[in-house]
Amino acid sequence: MATEEKAPQVGRLRRDVSIWGSFMWGYADVGADIFTALGLVAFAAQGGTPVAFLAAGLVYVLVGLCYTELASTYPAAGGGQYFTLRGLGDAWGFIAGAALMLDYTIDIALFAVSAAGYLNYFLGPDTAAFVARLGPFYVNYLWLMESILLILSLVFFNYLGIRVSSRINEYLGVLAIAGQAVVVVVGFALAWRYGLFHQQLATQFPSPGKFMYGSSLAIISFVGLESISQVAQETRRPSTVIPRSAVALVLNVLLFALAFSVLGNGLVPWQALGGHQGDPVAFLARHIPLIGAAAGPAIALLAASIVYISANSGVMSVSRLSYSMSRQQLLPRSLSRLHPRFATPYRTILLFSGLATVMTMAAFLSPSPHAATSSGAMDILANMYAFGASLGYLLVFIALMVLRFRDPAAPRPFRMPWNIPVPFRGRRIPFPVLGILGFLGVGMILFEVILTHAIGRVAGPAWILLLLVFYLYYRRSRKLPLWGSAPRDWVASQRQLLEDSEEYELLEEYEEALQVEGGADHGHSG
């Protein structure tokens, strides 16, 4: 029987992330997403854009509560993939990881393209001069080169370490939150018209198919809580930090997403907003009286910066995710090697940034010059983006419910509310009612993606299938169970996580719970 192999790492991931850094890692990924999603959703959901954001936002709140519980209970790199591994075993853990890998890789590409789109705000609406023909395709070569350069710069920052990346997030994040607040407050005070808002909502609501497409795209605005859990193993005192930063992030992002969608519907026609998929928030800012002339360019620069750090968050997350999977014998152990000086998983940073670059280049190949001058590349990337997130979140909700029964001894500093006690093996387990609602909500998003995303429903499953074939080959070569799980001592792992994070009170609580459960053998699985 195979045993857990030792990864050839140099040291461990450093715990350099504070409560503000944890919040900003999440905000860098999810808080910035409204800058990208607003135009895409408006183009699809039309006059129903606020309703599409509300539907996705309700699911997002449940996802946030789920991740807050699991990340504070299991503060390990890997996020949703790690939770699924612990709850459902190796094969499902790999599938969750593969889905999130797709999500993060597209995250890098999509938000680098979006950042370049905001920079191109200063070029004016006509970018036809930068379109060139390449065989049967047309390419906006300026936008493409800008996007690739931004991805390369992210590789450099992440190579140096998470402390450097966190500082970038913190500085730009503060400016972004302030800029968003100014646009929302001044926009409602000076320019918002209830008549236009009501008229668009009442008379220009989209067809069911378009609304499903729009609401599934709206989930882009709420994907990113995973980032907080990805840096949990690098967060100081995660039992306190993660619940506070996650709950604050949920409220902040939900408020801004709903505010911008309502503001947009009462400020400009949805057709105009949907036509500015590359720079929607700057477009709104430009139409605010008195401050529009200055606010438009300022928000364009600010949006480019915050969307850029969202792409930065994607590089960080996918590198930590693959690092974790390598240490768990789900991927080749060479991927878990850390840089001898910076203690960063440099191989995975290079690998997935390279894949994101290839995706970016492919997305810019347009069949017509009109598609090349518009935001065709963003639409292609967004089409695939929600598949990985919704599939990964679906498995995480299942893992949440399974772990309540399989690992009741683990201390849970935060627990999803609304629990029903269920008798199980001589004790009463608090079963999360909101977990069921979250599972159904994410399942509906996944259904919408499969039904309405022509590219996502093909490319997403193809990505999962391709990586699954590689996984089976790797496991067979290492003489590990193909569909079963390698033997693991989860009790020892949990002890190590709590000790490394200096959660000594929780460690003591864990030891006491284990004694009640009948000893350390309670947590072993094979």
Residue-level length of the chain: 526
Distances (CA, A) of 345 to 103, 161, 238, 334: 19, 9, 21, 10
Give the pLDDT of residue 15: 47
Domain ranges of the chain: 19-486
Radius of gyration from C-alpha coordinates of the chain = 23
Residue 424: strand pairing partners: 427
* Lowest mean pLDDT across 4-13, 111-120, 160-169: 4-13
Q: In terms of Cα–Cα distance, which of 448, 338, 300, 316 is closest to 387?
A: 448
pLDDT of 248 strictly over 90: no
One-letter amino acid for residue 387 of the chain: F
- pLDDT for res 521: 45
Residues 168-190, mean pLDDT to the nearest whole number: 83
Q: What is the pLDDT of residue 522?
A: 43
Q: How far is CA 365 from CA 204, 276, 357, 373, 374, in A?
A: 32, 20, 13, 11, 12
pLDDT exceeds cutoff 50 at 465: yes
Going by C-alpha positions, the residue among 351, 288, 412 that lies closest to residue 108 is: 351
Angle between helices 504-517 and 490-500 (to 10 degrees): 160
**pLDDT, tens digit, for every residue of 310-358?**
788 788 778 778 888 888 899 998 877 776 666 667 788 888 899 999 9
Give yes or no for residue 140 having a pLDDT over 90: no
The pLDDT of residue 510 = 93
Kindly compute the dihedral angle of the four CA atoms of residues 393, 395, 399, 400, in this order, to the nearest 10 degrees.
30
Domain 19-486 in CATH 1.20.1740.10? The answer is yes
Q: What is the mean pLDDT of residues 46-55?
A: 94
User: Is pLDDT of 12 > 90?
Assistant: no
Nearest alpha carbon to residue 107 among 350, 411, 320, 314? 314
Give the pLDDT score at 22: 61
Full-model pTM: 0.85
Distances (CA, A) of 473 to 462, 479, 484: 17, 10, 14
DSSP string, 197-265: HHHHHHH-PPPHHHHHHHHHHHGGGGTTHHHHHHTGGGBSSHHHHHHHHHHHHHHHHHHHHHHHHHHHH
Highest mean pLDDT among 120-129, 399-408, 455-464, 512-521: 399-408
Of 42 and 226, the structure prediction assigns the larger pLDDT to 42
Share of the chain above pLDDT 90, in %: 45
**Angle formed by the axes of helices 238-265 and 194-203, to 10°?**
90
- Quote the DSSP letter at residue 501: T
pLDDT (0 to 100) of residue 223: 61
Q: Distance (Å, rounded) from C-alpha 204 to C-alpha 422?
A: 47
Phi, psi of 178 (to 5 degrees): -65, -45
The half-sphere exposure of 41 on its side-chain side, counting CA atoms within 13 A, is 33
Are the C-beta atoms of residues 44 and 213 closer than 8 Å to each other?
yes
> pLDDT tens, 402-414?
999 999 999 999 9
Phi, psi of 127 (to 5 degrees): -115, 20
The better pLDDT of the pair 121, 46 is held by 46
Q: Is the pLDDT of residue 6 over 50?
A: no
Q: What is the pLDDT of residues 414-444, one digit of tens each?
A: 999 999 999 988 889 999 999 999 999 999 9
Check residue 228 and give its pLDDT: 64
Amino acid at 71: A
Which of 28-42, 80-94, 477-491 has the lowest average pLDDT?
A: 28-42
Cα 387–Cα 391–Cα 397 angle in degrees, nearest 5:
145
Residues of the chain above pLDDT 70, percent: 83
What is the identity of the amino acid at 385? Y
Tokens of 489: 């001592």
Would you say 80 and 393 are in contact if contact means Cβ atoms under 8 Å apart? Answer: yes
CA–CA separation, 380 and 456 (whole Å): 9
Higher pLDDT, 14 or 97: 97
Closest by CA position to 13, among listed 350, 319, 334: 319
Extended beta strands in 298-426, E state: 419-424
Least confident window among 23-37, 136-150, 211-225, 268-282 = 23-37
- What pLDDT, in 10s, does the model give residues 345-402? 778 888 889 999 999 998 888 776 666 565 678 888 888 888 888 899 999 999 999 9
Handedness of CA 121, 126, 129, 131 (dihedral sign): positive
User: Residue 87 pLDDT more than 60?
Assistant: yes
CA separation for the pair 342, 11 (Å, rounded): 10
349 and 164 Cβ atoms separated by less than 8 Å = no
DSSP 61-84: HHHHHHHHHHHHHS--TTTHHHHH
Question: Which residues is 134 bridged to in the sheet?
Answer: 137
